[in-house]
Amino acid sequence: PFPLTICTCEGLCVGVNTLSERLFHIPRAAVVGSLNVLTNVTDRDTSRPALFAAAVAGKSGQSSSMYYDFSFPGSQDLDRTGCWVTIGYFPFRNSSGQITHVGMMIQDETERIEAEQQTSLFTALVENAHDGIGVTDLSGRITYSNPALSLLTGYGDAIIGKSLRDMHPNKEEAIAANHTQGMAEGHWHTQMDICRADGSCFPADIAGFMLRDADGRPTSTAAIVRDLSEEQAREQELRLVKFTLDRAPDSIYWFKQDGQIIYANTTASTTLGYSLDEMLQMSIFDISVDLERERMGQIWTAIKHHESQLFESVQRCKDGHEIPVEVVSNYLAFEGQEYACIFSRDISARRREEKERLVLQEQVIAAQQAALRELSTPLIPIAEGVVAMPLIGSIDSGRAQLVIETLLSGAAALRAEATILDITGVPVVDTQVANALLRAAQAVKLLGARVILTGIRPEVAQTLVGLGVDLSGITTRATLQDGVAEALGWQTGKTLSNRR
- Residue-by-residue DSSP string for 144-177: EE-HHHHHHHT-GGGGTT-BHHHHSTT-HHHHHH
Task: Write down the pLDDT at residue 101.
Answer: 95
Quick one: residue 162, left, alpha or beta (phi over 0 = left, psi -120 to 50 = alpha)? beta
Residues forming beta bridges with residue 389, ordered by sequence position:
421
- What does 233-264 look like in DSSP terms, one character per residue? HHHHHHHHHHHHHHT-SSEEEEEETT-BEEEE
Helix (H, G, I), strand (E, B) or coil at 321: coil
The CATH code of domain 129-227 reads 3.30.450.20
Cβ neighbors of 262 (< 8 A, separation 6 or more) are 254, 255, 256, 280, 339
d(CA 6, CA 22): 16
Same fold, 235-346 and 377-499: no
CB-based burial label for 438 (10 Å; 0-12, 13-18, 19+)? middle
DSSP code for 64: P
Task: Write down the pLDDT at residue 376.
Answer: 57
Helix (H, G, I), strand (E, B) or coil at 353: helix
CB-based burial label for 166 (10 Å; 0-12, 13-18, 19+)? middle
Is the Cβ–Cβ distance between 246 and 322 less than 8 Å? no
Tell me what the pLDDT averaged over the chain comes to.
85
Residue ranges per structural domain of the chain = 4-114, 129-227, 235-346, 377-499
Task: Write down the pLDDT at residue 462.
Answer: 82
Is the Cβ–Cβ distance between 143 and 163 less than 8 Å? no
Length of the chain, please? Answer: 500
Instruction: For domain 4-114, give the fold.
Output: Beta-Lactamase (3.30.450)
How sure is the predictor about 168, in pLDDT bands with cuts at 50, 70 and 90?
A: confident
404-420 residue pLDDT tens = 888 888 888 888 888 88
How sure is the predictor about 94, in pLDDT bands with cuts at 50, 70 and 90?
A: very high
Name residue 226's amino acid: R
Is the Cβ–Cβ distance between 246 and 270 less than 8 Å? no
Task: Write down the pLDDT at residue 371.
Answer: 61
- Look at residue 496 and tell me whether its pLDDT is greater than 50: no
379 vs 369, higher pLDDT: 379
Task: Write down the pLDDT at residue 43.
Answer: 63
Task: Write down the pLDDT at residue 494.
Answer: 60
Mean per-residue pLDDT for 81-101?
91
d(CA 313, CA 343): 12
Instruction: For domain 377-499, give the fold.
Output: Transcription Regulator spoIIAA (3.30.750)
Most confident of 32-46, 235-249, 392-406: 235-249
248-264 residue pLDDT tens = 989 999 988 888 999 99
d(CA 368, CA 84): 111
Question: What percent of the chain lies above the pLDDT cut of 90?
Answer: 32
User: 96-100, long-range: CB within 8 Å, 24+ apart, which pairs?
Assistant: 99/9, 99/55, 99/56, 99/57, 99/58, 100/8, 100/9
Least confident among 43-52, 91-100, 206-215 = 43-52
d(CA 133, CA 388): 109
Least confident among 183-197, 297-311, 337-351, 415-429 = 297-311
Is the Cβ–Cβ distance between 268 and 343 less than 8 Å? no
Q: Tell me phi and psi for residue 15, to 5 degrees.
A: -170, 140
Is the Cβ–Cβ distance between 11 and 38 less than 8 Å? yes
Helix (H, G, I), strand (E, B) or coil at 226: strand
Question: What percent of the chain lies above the pLDDT cut of 70?
Answer: 93
Is the Cβ–Cβ distance between 148 and 131 less than 8 Å? yes
The three state secondary structure string of 79-117 is CCCEEEEEEEEEEEECCCCCEEEEEEEEEECHHHHHHHH
- Look at residue 436 and tell me whether its pLDDT is greater than 90: no
Mean per-residue pLDDT for 233-244?
90
d(CA 20, CA 316): 88
Is the Cβ–Cβ distance between 441 and 408 less than 8 Å? no
Count of H-run helices and E-run strands, the chain: 15, 21
Mean per-residue pLDDT for 146-175?
87
Task: Write down the pLDDT at residue 317.
Answer: 92
d(CA 449, CA 19): 153
Task: Write down the pLDDT at residue 499.
Answer: 41
Task: Write down the pLDDT at residue 134.
Answer: 93
How sure is the predictor about 397, in pLDDT bands with cuts at 50, 70 and 90?
A: confident
Task: Write down the pLDDT at residue 72.
Answer: 52
CATH superfamily of 235-346: PAS domain (3.30.450.20)
Say if strands 450-454 and 475-476 run parallel, antiparallel, or are unpaired: parallel
Q: Tell me phi and psi for residue 160, to 5 degrees.
A: -65, 130
335 vs 45, higher pLDDT: 335
How sure is the predictor about 44, in pLDDT bands with cuts at 50, 70 and 90?
A: low
Q: What is the pTM of this model?
A: 0.52
